[in-house]
Structure 1
Amino acid sequence: MLIKIIENIFLNNGYQIIQLEQHLSEFKSLLFVPENYESREEYFLVIEAITPSEKLTRYILNEGADALFETIRNNQKIDKAFPKNCTMVLCCEARKTPRDLILALEEDHYNFKKNVITYTDEEIQDLLVKLEASGHGKLTSAAINKAINSNSGETFSNFKKLGDSANNYYSLLMKIVIKLPFIQYTPAAQQMDDLEQNIRTNLTPEETSILERLTPLNEGMREEDLSSLLIEIWGNQQ
């Protein structure tokens, strides 16, 4: 289930679970708050159907979200910040969640702001393999960024080429980063080659001579002197 991976992310990025009874028997749900709650009064309710189906997802849209909201709001462990500052994160199997249903959920802000993360079994299995291979298996923000920026950006380039047909750990991580606002994506530092040196290396002797004569342009020239220089250089090339 995707909810286990999302739990991993929350617990390794400064959040803790508030223990609540499972209010909907056909769903698994987890409620998270920041470990330093006094500085960030926010809640995240993560929910996933035990046996995913379009019918159950539509139930959340039509009835389930309201029922969960009222039950949690009346719990003595929950303070007054909950009604105004809680996001519901729905984990939905992609093949059983039509596009129109995703849009309907995310456009419905009644009681909860709703973010939908779709997944395939292939994406989850691939990500679990990557986690096992990493040794520690903790999805910290740093670990997610390292995975996204892997292979000097080649992995991201391949992902862009595949588009919607991407179906691996990378496509799942990208969807998670987009839907969980506390995961800050940091692009890898670009290691730039010395552009001037590359240019000079590939110039012919004739082109090198022209470049050397154009060097004063970097130091600033009067307009009339610049015109004279360019006419002289290009005139001699005719």
Structure 2
Amino acid sequence: MITILNNIMASNRFSVVDVDLTDNSVEFILYKADSRKRQEYFLIVDLSTLSGEELRYFLEQTSQEIFEDIQNSGKVELYFEKNCTMIICLNTSVENQDMILALEEDPYNFKKNVVRYSAGELAALNGYLTRHSVTAITNDIINDILNANGGADFLEFKLNHKTGSQLYSLITRIIMKLSFLVYSPREQKLENLAGQIEAAIPVGLTETFDKILTTEWTDEAVIANVESIWGGRA
């Protein structure tokens, strides 16, 4: 999963910041936005191999040590302190929901977002990328996935999560956790309503219809307009 997130970061104008940590027990990569207008960092970590107790220790101790190591590295801007989000990869086999909530609601050091995934979801996403020869997971690619088949498949997923696609389940979770990704529903082709109305009007009533549309219908002029258009047969 961390490989997928690394691809997304690199494909959406984020660059790796090379920093060393005193604790190498956790796999991590720090990213900084390339644009100066986006003052933000993302720290990607994979905690799927940790036990419940190890997750608790990470929350209470390790995350603060990582924060201090990066802050004191001399390789980050001043805004790192307030504008860094830790994205935590966590396999769904980790069933401690209370701990997951504790990770995301922890107010100290990093803002923390947990991206949960299953082996089936990861296989579905990797399968899509392989079939469509996708090497860079840009925001456009993510929208292509969600808008496939005119968006009908994604709509079905939203209406029925239990039988929905594992691919959409993972993609929507990623979008919700990475603030720079934006879902853009594909615009549906609108029917030409005016054309349909005109086509439905009998030939003999076309002139009458045009007069109805072009007449100014104020309260005072209603009776006079009706008499004018329908020849006094009102």
TM-score normalised by the chain length of structure 2? 0.81
Using the alignment, how far apart are the partners of 1:215 and 1:122 within structure 2?
A: 63
Which residue is equivalent to 1:29? 28
Corresponding letter in the other structure for 2:218: R
Name which of structure 1's ranges 84-93 and 15-24 shifts more when overlaid on structure 2: 15-24
How far is the alpha carbon of 1:183 from its aligned partner? 1.4
Q: Which residue of 1 aligns with 2:15?
A: 16
SS in 1 for 2:170: helix
Measured on the aligned residues, the alpha-carbon RMSD in Å equals: 3.2
Q: Deviations over 1:156-201 (max 9, x none)?
A: 2111122266451111111111111111222212211213444666
Within 1, Cα distance between the matches of 2:50 and 2:156?
30
Secondary structure (helix, strand or coil) at the match of 1:96 reads coil
Give the number of equivalent residue pairs: 229
Distance 1:129 1:218 in 2: 58
Aligned counterparts, 1:120-135, within 5 A: 120-135=118-133
- Cα distance in 2 for residues equivalent to 1:167 and 1:152: 16
- Identity across the alignment (%): 32
Change (3 A) 1:226 1:178: farther
Structure-2 residue corresponding to 1:44: 42
* 1:163 alignment counterpart: 161
Instruction: Please list every run of 5 or more consecutive structure 1 residues that lacks an aligned counterpart in the other structure.
Output: 234-238
Query: How many Å apart are 1:74 and its aligned residue?
Result: 1.9
- Listed as ranges, the matches of 1:139-150 within 5 Å are 139-150=137-148
Which stretch shifts more, 186-195 or 168-177?
186-195
User: What residue in structure 2 maps to residue 236 of structure 1?
Assistant: none
Deviation track 1:212-231 (CA, whole Å, cap 9, x = no partner) reads 659715744123655896xx
TM-superposed CA distance for 1:65, in Å, is 1.3
Larger mean CA deviation between 62-71 and 91-100 belongs to: 91-100
The farther-off stretch of 8-17 and 107-116 is: 107-116
Q: CA deviation at 1:151?
A: 1.0
Q: Which residue of 2 aligns with 1:3?
A: 2
**1:64 corresponds to which residue?**
62
Query: Which one is further off, 5-14 or 132-141?
Result: 132-141
What does residue range 65-80 of structure 1 map to in structure 2 within 5 Å? Answer: 65-80=63-78
Show the counterpart of 2:219: 223
Q: TM-score, normalised to structure 1's length?
A: 0.80
**Equivalent in the alignment of 1:154:** 152
Q: 1:126 to 1:224 in 2, by over 3 A?
A: same
Aligned equivalents of 2:169, 2:44: Cα separation in 1: 20
Consecutive unaligned residues in structure 2, runs of 5 or more: none
Regions of 4+ moved over 6 Å: none
Could you tell me whether the CA contact under 8 Å between 1:94 and 1:118 is conserved in 2?
Answer: yes
